[in-house]
Amino acid sequence: MTLMGLAPLASVLALLAQEPATGFVAENVAARPEVVERGLRFLNLAYTAVWVVLAVYVLSLSIRLRRLTSQVRRLKERAGL
Amino acid sequence: MPEPVDARMRTGRSGFVEQGLWVAVAVLVPVCLHQIFQVVPTEGKMGVVQRIFYFHVPSAFAGFLGVGLCALCSALYLWKRDRRYDLVAHASAEIAVVFFTIVLLTGPIWARPVWGVWWTGEVRLTSTLVLWLMYAGYLILRRNAENPEQEARWGAVLGIVGALDLPIIYKSVEWWRGLHPKVLKVSGGQGLDPAMERGLMLCSLTFILLFALLLVLRCRAGALEDDLAALTRHAARRGAGAEPA
């Protein structure tokens, strides 16, 4: 009697334990073309942001270095050092 | 004229270390990009957008390095009152702000497709923003000081206080169990695929070398600013001395 009563429960548990052959799992979602395309847009945006920030800083630093070097050289020449 | 900070810095020329760092960074950046886009596997759940991680995390490492170095040199400055420590602290803070700007831009760009929002009130995100604001404030504070001694002293105090946020950022995912993924195994992360781990290590090395290169350049600029100030004072004294009484 008890075992008979557990049979439907066991079949439900077996169903739940099964890996879905096809379905809405994260791995499948990530591989879908529209999701890949959307991901690439964000990836592009992120890498563009990285390069822009680094380029602006390196450029501003090199301009600052060039300006300072020429100012120091000019003052040294004027001071006769 | 004040004591020279460094003879090579004063000439405005790049040294052997700087040239070596330029070469290393120029070689390693394309290698990193090859690793990120050709070698490392695509993460199963997040897809291609996970590749943001290879620049986001190394930027955070470089930012941490900058803040740590700033705090260390600030403490040494307060102890020894040596201008060289202040110079390195100021340069480190500026570069840390640059790297944390990258972290705070790439993080939300990753979060939007993965979490569905650009920003949340999660502790790691908030504490990183607070750190960025503190060091941006550090740079503004230094610009508004009345004299160089005050600038260095105020900067040193804020440089040390700001670094107290570092352990909060690092441990926040464990302490408050936030949404932010755990990256390192030592902080309880699940670990990465070996190819992903190699990619991350290579990118981290590249960003640390980039940090070192920017630090050398920024310290040279700081030393030249000192030179310029000293030369200007020297010229003013000579001008005043030449004038009739």
Examine residue B245 and state whether it is found in any structural domain, yes or no. Answer: no
Examine residue B8 and state whether it is found in any structural domain, yes or no. Answer: no
Residue B155 contacts residue B90 (beta carbons within 8 Å): yes
Question: Is A12 touching B (CB cutoff 8 A)?
Answer: no
The 8-class DSSP code of residue B144 comes to T
pTM: 0.83
Whole-number pLDDT of residue A11: 65
Mutation target among A41, A61, A72, A78 for the B interface, most CBs of B within 10 A: A72
Which chain B positions have a beta carbon within 8 Å of A42's beta carbon?
A: 49, 52, 109-110, 112-113
Distance from CA of B101 to the nearest CA of A (A): 8
Residue of B51, B188, B11, B71 lying closest to A65 (CA atoms): B11
Question: Is A61 touching B (CB cutoff 8 A)?
Answer: yes
Domains: count for chain B: 1
Stretch 13-32 of chain A: residues touching chain B, C-beta under 8 Å: 26-27, 29-31
Q: Looking at the DSSP assignment, which residues form a beta bridge with residue B47? A: B43
C-alpha B88/C-alpha B91 separation (Å) is 5
Examine residue B11 and state whether it is found in any structural domain, yes or no. Answer: no
Question: Is A55 touching B (CB cutoff 8 A)?
Answer: no
Structure tokens at B20: 């070596």
Which chain A positions have a beta carbon within 8 Å of B110's beta carbon?
A: 42, 46
Whole-number pLDDT of residue A36: 83
Distance from CA of A18 to the nearest CA of B (A): 20
Per-residue pLDDT of chain B (245 residues; tens, 9 = 90+): 444 444 444 555 668 899 999 999 999 999 999 999 999 888 888 888 889 999 999 999 999 999 999 999 999 999 999 999 999 999 999 999 999 999 999 999 999 998 889 998 888 999 999 999 999 999 999 999 888 899 999 999 999 999 998 898 888 878 887 778 776 654 444 567 888 889 999 999 999 999 999 999 999 999 999 999 988 888 888 777 655 54
Query: Which value does ipTM take for this structure?
Result: 0.87
Cβ distance A30 to B102 less than 8 Å, yes or no, reads no
Examine residue B237 and state whether it is found in any structural domain, yes or no. Answer: no
Whole-number pLDDT of residue B9: 45
Examine residue B105 and state whether it is found in any structural domain, yes or no. Answer: yes
Whole-number pLDDT of residue B245: 42
**Considering only alpha carbons, which residue of chain B is nearest residue A79?**
B235
Examine residue B154 and state whether it is found in any structural domain, yes or no. Answer: yes
At B43, phi and psi to the nearest 5?
-65, 140
B108 lies in which domain range? 31-37+49-222
Whole-number pLDDT of residue B145: 86
Q: Label residue B7 exposed, middle or buried (CB < 10 Å: 0-12, 13-18, 19+).
A: exposed
Distance from CA of B190 to the nearest CA of A (A): 18
Whole-number pLDDT of residue A13: 62
Examine residue B217 and state whether it is found in any structural domain, yes or no. Answer: yes
Whole-number pLDDT of residue B6: 46
Residue of B60, B57, B54 lying closest to B41 (CA atoms): B54
Which of these ranges, A16-25, A50-59, B44-53, B103-112, has the smallest mean pLDDT? A16-25
Mutation target among A29, A61, A73 for the B interface, most CBs of B within 10 A: A61
Whole-number pLDDT of residue A20: 46
Whole-number pLDDT of residue A14: 64
Examine residue B195 and state whether it is found in any structural domain, yes or no. Answer: yes
